[in-house]
A and B are shown apart, each in its own frame.
Chain A
Amino acid sequence: DAGVIQSPRHEVTEMGQEVTLRCKPISGHNSLFWYRQTMMRGLELLIYFNNNVPIDDSGMPEDRFSAKMPNASFSTLKIQPSEPRDSAVYFCASGGDTHYYGYTFGSGTRLTVV
């Protein structure tokens, strides 16, 4: 099991550009979460999918952020247009039905918007 796979590991982009972060959850996990981590705000839950359906996106900061999960093995988080304050580490996590062992996190994508 390769765990939760995120790409890219690092992304540097200019303000105003579109950014797409990618996540491949663990096979068999039916829940997927996107978190954002900054020094100021710590780890924040952005959006949560269950069986590929977005359940709660109340953590998405604004309309510039969108997330999709077209199938059980792939999810994207898109920022359009990006702003310097979006600079953060974005983590994807997946979990199974019972969540007994909590969630498994990916290694994250470090986004820098200049």
Chain B
Amino acid sequence: DAKTTQPPSMDCAEGRAANLPCNHSTISGNEYVYWYRQIHSQGPQYIIHGLKNNETNEMASLIITEDRKSSTLILPHATLRDTAVYYCIVRVLEAGANNLFFGTGTRLTVIP
């Protein structure tokens, strides 16, 4: 049970920011928001995660609403190589826990 809702697909023009939304209205206080992506024929790849503060790394930014019921992954300057399925997942940080459940994700297509 992925506990998240994402749009099935989105398009983004190359060079523009891609904003991928995710709803997680039943998130618990100790659950983190994780984002993964899967490029065609490859294994899922970790992008970023956060608890309640906004986060940024070399790949993306994560904006989490104050009530934590939704979040947005931002790819600031999308390239053709960012075309992939993006998964939003909520999970607790518990050593030894098998709690990385993937939903259907958002298929992002970056258009030249």
Contact = CB atoms under 8 A, between A and B. Distances in A.
Interface in B7-22: none
Contact of A107 (B42, B100, B103, B104): B42
Interface residues of A, number: 26
A64 interface: no
Contacts, number: 54
Contact of A55 (B49, B94, B98): B98
Nearest to B97: A99
Interface stretch (A12-20, A42-50, A66-74, A75-83): A42-50
A105 to B, nearest CB: 3
A99 B45 contact: no
Contact of A101 (B41, B46, B94, B97): B46
Interface in A92-114: 93, 97-108
Interface string B18-52: 00000000000000001010000111111001000
A106 B104 CA distance: 20
A106 B46 contact: no
